[in-house]
Amino acid sequence: MQFPEAPSPEPVENELLYDAEYKEMLNAYNKVQYLYNAGIEFVRGRLETLNNEFRVRHSHNPIHHIQTRVKTPQSITMKLRKMGVPVSMTNAKKNLRDIAGVRVICCYVEDIFTVARLLTSQDDVQLIEEKNYIKHPKENGYRSLHLVVDVPVYLSEGKVYIPVEVQIRTVAMDFWASLEHNLRYKAEEEVPQFIVDELKKCADVITETDARMEQVFHAMSMLRDRAPEETMPHLGDWM
Ligand code: GTP
Ligand code: MG
């Protein structure tokens, strides 16, 4: 499974097919890919539980949907080459923290931070890195919260920690990022300045829309809270 912006199926560069380094890496990749899948499933499970709890307790789903991908061997090879590092799975493990990727698409901006806080406060989830492109958007207008977390995967001989990159964004941020990625990917030459400027303006409109939608959500919640509350089961009943 790949993120939607990845070309499908990803073409294997011809030169790679005959590359001994790549073949060796591919062999090693096939033996460890399940670990990255397990890391993804761990994170997905934790997120789905939180989302289900929110639905029951607060009548709100902070998570709109989740997408996942394991970086392909081709993509790992390209990234290592770009870094000037010899291509091998050992080097991929040492240098890349986004082999396992989870993208969490939230409804509102505040949901992003709720999801991030609740996931990273779990005592077996270790936060390794955080890049807040919401507080500090990229120059082109890109916004998302990026986390790298180490999560435990239990094997027959013990526990290993697997890094998982978690990108958390709203539906609106995702809409912008997906289209911007496609436009940039399809552009044969450098994207002209007027297109860059237009994309940035669209990102600004989306930022404003996100804020307004959040206000609508709060207004609706206030109206709903005036209605008589249903009796909620108490968490203590399960503890
Ligand atoms: P890479 O991991 O090599 O991409 O570099 P990095 O670690 O400096 O990147 P960063 O953590 O900032 O972003 C990693 C991922 O976020 C990318 O692979 C994209 O999925 C997404 N991303 C980052 N910047 C942009 C952007 O400007 N536009 C879009 N559409 N996606 C972006
Ligand atoms: Mg990265």
Q: Following DSSP, what letter does each residue of 190-212 receive, concatenated?
A: PPPHHHHHHHHHHHHHHHHHHHH
Going from the Cα of 122 to the center of ligand 2, the distance in angstroms, rounded, reads 23
Looking at the domain that runs over 10-171, which CATH code has it been given? 3.30.460.10
Closest ligand to C-alpha of residue 203 is 1
Residue 203 near residue 176 (C-beta atoms within 8 A): yes
Q: Note the pLDDT of residue 42.
A: 98
Going from the Cα of 62 to the center of ligand 2, the distance in angstroms, rounded, reads 24
Burial of 87 (0-12, 13-18, 19+ CB in 10 A): buried
Regarding the beta carbon of 200 and ligand 1, being less than 6 Å apart is answered no
Residue 151 near residue 39 (C-beta atoms within 8 A): yes
The segments of the chain whose pLDDT lies below 70 read 1, 7-14, 227-239
Residues with CB under 5 A from ligand 2 (ion): 98
- Altogether, the residues listed in the chain come to a count of 239
Domain boundaries, the chain: 10-171
Q: Note the pLDDT of residue 79.
A: 95
User: What tens digit of pLDDT does each residue of 68-84 get?
Assistant: 999 999 999 999 999 99
Place of tokens 């968490």: 235
Full-model pTM = 0.90
Q: Note the pLDDT of residue 183.
A: 87
Closest ligand to C-alpha of residue 179 is 1
Regarding the beta carbon of 181 and ligand 1, being less than 6 Å apart is answered yes
Going from the Cα of 106 to the center of ligand 1, the distance in angstroms, rounded, reads 18
Q: Note the pLDDT of residue 184.
A: 81
Paired strand residues for 63 = 106
Q: Note the pLDDT of residue 84.
A: 96
Contacts of 163 (CB under 8 A, 6+ apart): 39, 97, 98, 99, 100, 128, 148, 149, 150
User: What tens digit of pLDDT does each residue of 19-51 get?
Assistant: 888 999 999 999 999 999 999 999 999 999 999
Q: Note the pLDDT of residue 235.
A: 60
